[in-house]
Structure 1
Amino acid sequence: MTPGRIAIPLAGAIALLVCQPAPTGSTALAFTNPKKGNAVTTATLTVQPAAATAGAFMPAGYAEMARRRVAVDGERAELVRYQRSDGRNAVLGGEHFSTVIAADGRLKGFTRMDLDLAGGQLPSREETRAIAMDFLRVAAPELLPAQEISWIEPHDEPLRVVRNGKTENLTLTGMKVKMRNRADGRWMWVIVGADRKVMVFERDIVWVTLPGHRKTEKWLDDTWLAENGTTLP
């Protein structure tokens, strides 16, 4: 699927994003179903470039399911979730394509959890690095001058699917390029799937050295969403 065929509908969907501070005091998340309308009436975000970039990686047959304003390290952003139009594995932990776009239009990250990514031969470290750098040149060229690769290794993501009436917990494995931004000390990574395309991208991740944990919210991670009270429409 070519970027041009995907970017237009995705841009149209994300162009309606609104920026509002996420509720304080709780990380509980309830998605807003776009079919039921959006009661928020604040200013519209300008996110065409980010929408086009993310849209190039959305699998065929996905449609917007929900959207939610969120906070990422205290900054306003929008989480948009897409699921398969045929309803296959349309549960938390199942197949989805999700994006987080900041109020200033920056693509903070996206994830592509699709059954087609299960199995397959992973790219080599050299090939993975080349794919990641090519992606950053398009998605976030400002990160390239100060990026420093920490490591390139296989990385697993869980996926819950239903096959033949039975629920199965699968593992999607990609090659992860973990990088540090020397300019601000934050982290970023690109995970490349067996199809040689980016399956996960995240940037501006704040890491607390002691006791050693991620501070930045994990809005693209279904396990984290479930732990923090997420419900789907």
Structure 2
Amino acid sequence: MPHRRPLAALAALGLAAGTATANVAFAETGVRPAAADSAQPAAATIGAFMPAGYREAGRRAAVVDGKAAELVRYARADGRNATLGGEHFSTVIADDGRLKGFARIDLDLVGRPLPTREEAQAIAMDFLREAAPDLLPGMRISWIDPHDEPLRVARNGRSENLTLTGMKVKMRNEADGLWMWVIVGADRKVMVFERDIHWISFPGRRGTEKWLHDAWLVEKGYSVGQS
């Protein structure tokens, strides 16, 4: 678990829980709330963040908190690290067309310097303004810190377990009590986005399914082929 900056320090940045309101974030980043119905289509967001040289590898029906959705997985066209646990770009889209999240797990992002907390916040706010503006009015930042994702790769005929790190901006939607986060990669682009996450106990066990997480797919015995 990465070390989190003390709340007193976060408060100085306007980021501490209970003080980091959306208005503070907007004042710092210059981002203003957009109308809830002005989110760009999921396809536009996916197209903007999918790495070059990826193609669809499979899709399956998914259920997110009791509602129908679809998981679509993209892998490198050259087949590099294409198995579960390896490189991928995956999306979850609800039946109503809403983008519930995506993950860009790419070897090219490993071991590079991360954005600062301030940079990550600005990038996250810009992303939400374009892709999910309905989240902005009730958004409150909880913390901003490095976050690790596992990545298994093949090198010289051997498998290696690596760590892909991004800067995570974790937020709560006070309008409905659900959680969301944006993880910014070393290339200063969004690496992971998840929204509408609920917890059975907090901190503790997540209640919302983890369709974007390969370890969870393996645990559940799910494949990502045609459903």
Fold equivalence (TM over 0.5) = yes
1:223 equivalent in alignment to 2:215:
yes
1:96 is aligned to 88
Residue 105 of structure 2 aligns with an amino acid whose one-letter code is: M
Distance 2:201 2:210 in 1: 17
1:137 is aligned to 129
Offset at residue 209 of structure 1 (A): 2.5
1:57 is aligned to 49
1:150 is aligned to 142
Residue 92 of structure 1 aligns with an amino acid whose one-letter code is: L
Poorly superposed stretches of 4+, deviation over 6 Å: none
Distance change in 2, residues 1:95/1:213 (3 Å) = same
Residue 115 of structure 1 aligns with an amino acid whose one-letter code is: L
Offset at residue 212 of structure 1 (A): 2.7
Please state whether the residue corresponding to 1:145 is helix, strand or coil. Answer: coil
Give the percent of matched residue pairs that are identical in Structure 1 and Structure 2: 75
Q: 1:185 aligns with which of 177, 188, 192?
A: 177
Q: What is the aligned-residue RMSD (CA, Å)?
A: 1.5
1:209 is aligned to 201
TM-score (norm 1): 0.78
Aligned residues: 187
Distance 1:131 1:116 in 2: 20
Which structure's relative contact order is higher, taking Cα pairs within 8 Å and 6+ residues apart? 2
Please state whether the residue corresponding to 1:98 is helix, strand or coil. Answer: strand
Unaligned residue ranges in structure 2 (runs of 5+)? 1-39
Residue 157 of structure 2 aligns with an amino acid whose one-letter code is: G
Please state whether the residue corresponding to 1:52 is helix, strand or coil. Answer: helix
2:111 is aligned to 119
Distance 1:152 1:66 in 2: 33
Offset at residue 136 of structure 1 (A): 0.1
TM-score (norm 2): 0.80
Cα shift readout 1:83-105 (whole Å, capped 9, x = no counterpart): 01111111000000000000111
Answer yes or no: is the 8 Å Cα contact 2:82–2:88 preserved in 1. yes
Distance 2:110 2:163 in 1: 7
Distance 2:202 2:55 in 1: 41
Distance 1:188 1:232 in 2: 24
Please state whether the residue corresponding to 1:99 is helix, strand or coil. Answer: strand
